[in-house]
């Protein structure tokens, strides 16, 4: 039997969240729903207008380049990519071809070929919702929005790692603050190139478009690997083509035979200046580096090293930077409550916030920290802590006050507990004698009785210790 190797390379576009568009000062607003609101003669493509480079967009891509450890080109320019389509009335898209802003770089051990800057196209709204539409409406709100394109080398070998790469890139763009990168909103768009081969050279690749979720990326890649493998097994040829993804059917389908780059007749846009990055103060790399905060990979390491969090816990903190920041405030200056705080924040507190539809924390870090210390000092039981936490959701006050008001402080008064224990022992002769004969479960029962009598306010560890002492 032959063994087949799958190879995947990704091309990912992300809309940058600059205030204005790539080559004009029309507003860049992904949430604008009224068609053709944020437009001007430049982004609508009127003849005779002149584009002006948005420096903020260039800075955003430079930050991405720094973050992935890519080479920042000192010389860069914009090219015209010529083609006809109603969403690009100039007859060309301004992009970068020979001199991309960034060359190389790495994410998740996957080599990146390049990152460049271009302009987004208008959106076409097909009236009947299929390809046999009778008419289409053009909305130019998106036309000219700065679009970053990142291309990977063909070095990915599974659907899962293709999905993981896209997820990690999304995180990175969000941490850098350069794009919201919501796939559902089309702010991040993934195209997957896939080939399968049973020799040491590459097989013919297909390119799958319109993947608008991470799951779709993984499913489409897996589907193509299977489809191409079957073709090869039957001695049939894989056609080099562009395919679409039907999420409902879970299938890719042929769209068109792929055009070659020479069809686009790229050439440098004569309307735009060529850029010498090192000579433009706004693009000073050292200054840009200082603007970049802690990135996901560094944060993962720090959370592991400083807090001993598990990989799973770390990923939740990475996905929810606000919660991670809150956690750090809670444990600041008290390493004893780290483990407790991780558990209570990630399970109980997140659960409560979600239940109440809240996206930001409502309990001050100080009060949360105090609650953790109370558990740690055995002042409250874990059951009591959960109750106090729920009460703190309504009223962000000192947990000690809530505990007192609701009788949730643990009884650690030995004298009082001793009396309760003696009473339980006399009332449960049978259980006591079972325990003495060696039945461990009986001790649990007695402790349970102690918790019941004290309405959960006794410290179970203390009960256990004192029962044992009284019964030997």
Binding site for ligand ADP (CB under 6 A): 7-11, 151-154, 193-195, 202, 205, 261
Rank residues 153 and 180 by Cβ distance to ligand ADP and give the closer one: 153
Give the shortest CB-192-to-ligand ADP separation in angstroms.
8
The dihedrals phi and psi of 131, each to the nearest 5 degrees, come to -75, -10
Least separation in angstroms between CB 391 and ligand ADP: 54
The nearest distance, CB 8 to ligand ADP, in angstroms, is: 6
| Residue closer to ligand ADP, measured from CB, 109 or 286 | 109
Which CB sits closer to ligand ADP, 190 or 353? 190
Q: Residue with CB nearest ligand ADP?
A: 9
Smallest separation, CB 262 to ligand ADP (Å): 10
Which residue's CB is nearer to ligand ADP, number 108 or number 396?
108
Euclidean distance between CA atoms 334 and 356, whole angstroms:
29
In the complex with ligand ADP, the residue whose CB is nearer, 13 or 59, is 13
CB of 191 to ligand ADP, least distance (A): 8
Smallest distance from ligand ADP to CB 7, Å: 4
Q: Which is nearer to ligand ADP, 75 or 202 (CB)?
A: 202
Q: CB of 134: closest distance to ligand ADP in angstroms?
A: 32
Q: Closer CB to ligand ADP, residue 21 or residue 205?
A: 205
Q: Considering the complex, state which of residue 44 and residue 156 has its C-beta at the smaller distance from ligand ADP.
A: 156
Closest contact distance (angstroms) between CB of 201 and ligand ADP is 9
């Amino acid at each position: 039997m032959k063994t087949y190797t799958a190879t995947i390379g990704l091309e990912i576009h992300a809309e940058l969240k600059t205030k204005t568009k790539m080559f004009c000062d029309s507003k860049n607003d992904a949430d604008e729903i009224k068609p053709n609101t944020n437009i001007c003669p430049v982004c609508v493509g009127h003849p005779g207008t002149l584009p002006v480079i948005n420096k903020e967009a260039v800075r955003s891509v430079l930050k991405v380049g720094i973050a992935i450890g890519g080479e920042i080109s000192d010389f860069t320019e914009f090219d015209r990519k010529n083609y006809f389509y109603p969403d690009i009335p100039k007859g060309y898209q301004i992009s970068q071809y020979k001199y991309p802003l960034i060359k190389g770089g790495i994410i998740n051990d996957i080599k990146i070929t390049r990152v460049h800057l271009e302009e987004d196209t208008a959106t076409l709204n097909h009236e009947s919702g299929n390809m046999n539409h009778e008419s289409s409406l053009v909305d130019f709100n998106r036309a000219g929005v700065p679009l970053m394109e990142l291309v990977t080398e063909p070095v990915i070998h599974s659907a899962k790692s293709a999905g993981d790469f896209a997820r990690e890139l999304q995180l990175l763009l969000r941490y850098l603050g350069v794009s919201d990168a919501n796939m559902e909103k089309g702010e991040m768009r993934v195209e997957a190139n896939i080939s399968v081969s049973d020799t040491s050279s590459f097989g013919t690749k297909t390119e799958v478009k319109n993947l608008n979720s991470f799951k779709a990326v993984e499913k489409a890649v897996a589907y193509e690997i299977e489809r191409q493998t079957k073709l090869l097994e039957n001695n049939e040829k894989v056609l080099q083509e562009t395919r679409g993804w039907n999420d409902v059917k879970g299938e890719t389908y042929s769209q068109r035979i792929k055009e070659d780059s020479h069809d686009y007749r790229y050439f440098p846009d004569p309307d735009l200046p060529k850029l010498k990055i090192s000579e433009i103060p706004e693009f000073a790399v050292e200054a840009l580096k200082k603007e970049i905060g802690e990135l996901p990979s560094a944060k993962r390491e720090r959370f592991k090293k400083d807090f001993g969090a598990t990989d799973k816990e770390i990923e939740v903190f990475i996905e929810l930077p606000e919660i991670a920041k809150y956690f750090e405030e809670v444990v600041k200056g008290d390493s004893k409550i780290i483990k407790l705080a991780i558990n209570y924040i990630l399970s109980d507190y997140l659960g409560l916030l979600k239940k109440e539809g809240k996206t930001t924390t409502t309990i001050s870090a100080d009060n949360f920290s105090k609650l953790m210390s109370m558990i740690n000092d055995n002042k409250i039981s874990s059951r009591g802590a959960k109750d106090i936490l729920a009460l703190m959701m309504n009223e962000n006050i000192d947990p000690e006050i809530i505990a007192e008001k609701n009788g949730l402080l643990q009884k650690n008064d030995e004298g009082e507990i001793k009396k309760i224990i003696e009473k339980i022992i006399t009332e449960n002769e049978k259980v006591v004698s079972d325990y003495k004969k060696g039945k461990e479960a009986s001790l649990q029962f007695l402790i349970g009785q102690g918790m019941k009598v004290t309405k959960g306010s006794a410290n179970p560890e203390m009960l256990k210790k004192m029962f044992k002492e009284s019964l030997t």
